[in-house]
Structure 1
Amino acid sequence: MSRAPLRLDEPTLARAVRVLARAEPRFAHIVKRHGSPPLWPREPGFQTLVLLMLEQQVSLAQGRAMYERIANATGTPTPANVARLGESGLRALGVTRQKSSYLAALAVQVEDKTVDLAALATLSDVDADAALDALRGVGPWTAQCYLLFALRRADVFPAADLALLEAVRDLWKLRARPSPDALAWRSRSWRPHRAVAARLLWHHYLSERGRS
């Protein structure tokens, strides 16, 4: 098993931004126009994974609103509290049938220690991604964003993210959004700083829309 990579922090983020800006004029343009991107850290653990699962395939605002409903109903959305709420309780709050099933099952697994989210920090990117993908309801976007935001891995890139696809379309003056496969291929040139490249692209996307 390979060793877990170091976590991104503010100094390593700043260094990677400088490297990418020197290598790619479009990244330099983002920094000149909007400044360096935020680290956007999230706390590792159950609550962040729940939020990401809720954000999957909907807008971030919709996912956050649903998370707040769960938080209000449980006091704190710990594994024990969400497990007590159960699938029916989640559905009563407006969570879809499928996501309610996934979240209720995850809560039970984390509470009874069948799933150890803390152990992900000790795994390589590949192994941590595989462990997350093995969980019901955790797709590639959710797994990659957990690695990127919660574990702060430096070389993870969620190529299917719509905001990243749109940012690349805009910056590279493409007639249409690239496919996720095409963006994944393009991102190879940004290794080993792909998570920082993603932050730059999100920074552009949000700043151009006045939402950063």
Structure 2
Amino acid sequence: MDTSHIITALDIVAAQDADVAAGLSLVGYPEPRLRPHGFNTLLSIIVSQQISKEAAGAIQARLEALNPGGQAESFLALGPEAIRAAGLSRPKVAYAVGLADAIASGTLNLQAVATLPDDQAVAAIMGLKGFGRWSAEIYCMFSLQRQDLFPGEDIALQEAMRRLKGLPSRPDAKQARLMAENWSPHRSAMAVFLWHYYRGAPA
């Protein structure tokens, strides 16, 4: 989703949803989130789970320095201890090695995943240990540029929806997904907007 697509999608939603229109007036349009398709991006999703953005960035930089080519095969050759020394927890080392092995062995064919419908692409990524629905949807949104996904488990999205809609409490994942159905087929653009709104709108 480039800037033009995001603006067009949000304008369409705003024409039908007064709260979104008001939110756009308050915080403006978000910047696009584009990430490469492939092993390194999936690895970065593992790295970033449950730690700060700054810590994740530092660990990812160390891993990329160890594996400058960014290939799954060369990552496997590093060995678990070198990967652990870069700052990953032992469970994340196992997830990262499992990811690299799946790609290197052909168990996970990322080129084939890119051609699948949304639900099948998400399911293929979720087949990897350490990748839940949120992680799979994030990859599909930002690396495969899927335009109608909404990671309802995301706490920031839930809180942004509460503020935007003036709700008494934050919706849970199921409620957030149900509410987001009204924004289809532009749910990915709305997710990007809501992250932007979360950072810029009054609490």
Give me the whole-angstrom Cα distance separating, in 1, the residues matched to 2:55 and 2:17: 34
Q: Does 2:141 correspond to 1:144?
A: no
Give me the whole-angstrom Cα distance separating, in 2, the residues matched to 1:154 and 1:203: 17
Q: Does 2:49 correspond to 1:47?
A: no
How many residues are matched? 202
Worse-superposed segment, 171-180 or 149-158: 171-180
Look up the match of 2:95.
102
Q: Structure 2: which amino acid aligns with 1:128?
A: A
TM-score by length of 1: 0.87
Look up the match of 1:189.
182
Worse-superposed segment, 170-179 or 153-162: 170-179
Give me the whole-angstrom Cα distance separating, in 2, the residues matched to 1:126 and 1:110: 20
- Is the 1:70–1:77 Cα contact (8 Å) retained in structure 2? no
Q: How far 1:30 moved relative to its partner? A: 2.6
- Is the 2:45–2:135 Cα contact (8 Å) retained in structure 1? yes
Output aligned runs, 1:13-162, within 5 Å.
13-162=6-155
Q: Does 2:197 correspond to 1:204?
A: yes
Q: How far 1:166 moved relative to its partner? A: 1.6
Give me the whole-angstrom Cα distance separating, in 1, the residues matched to 2:201 and 2:5: 25
Worse-superposed segment, 33-42 or 200-209: 200-209
- Is the 1:22–1:28 Cα contact (8 Å) retained in structure 2? yes
Please, what is the CA RMSD of the aligned residues? 1.8
Look up the match of 1:5.
none
Give me the whole-angstrom Cα distance separating, in 1, the residues matched to 2:53 and 2:18: 29
Give me the whole-angstrom Cα distance separating, in 2, the residues matched to 1:107 and 1:73: 14
Deviations 1:49-105 (A, max 9, x none): 111122223333332222112112333432123211222222122201111001012
Q: 1:166 aligns with which of 150, 159, 163?
A: 159
Worse-superposed segment, 111-120 or 45-54: 111-120
Give me the whole-angstrom Cα distance separating, in 2, the residues matched to 1:175 and 1:70: 43
- Is the 2:23–2:164 Cα contact (8 Å) retained in structure 1? no
Q: How far 1:36 moved relative to its partner? A: 1.4
Q: Structure 1: which amino acid aligns with 2:34?
A: P
Give me the whole-angstrom Cα distance separating, in 1, the residues matched to 2:17 and 2:73: 47
- Consecutive unaligned residues in structure 2, runs of 5 or more: none
Worse-superposed segment, 170-179 or 145-154: 170-179
Question: Identity of counterpart residues, as a percentage?
Answer: 33
Find the residue that maps to 1:169 and give its secondary structure.
Answer: helix
1:105–1:86 CA distance, 2 compared to 1 (3 A): farther
TM-score by length of 2: 0.91
- Consecutive unaligned residues in structure 1, runs of 5 or more: 1-7
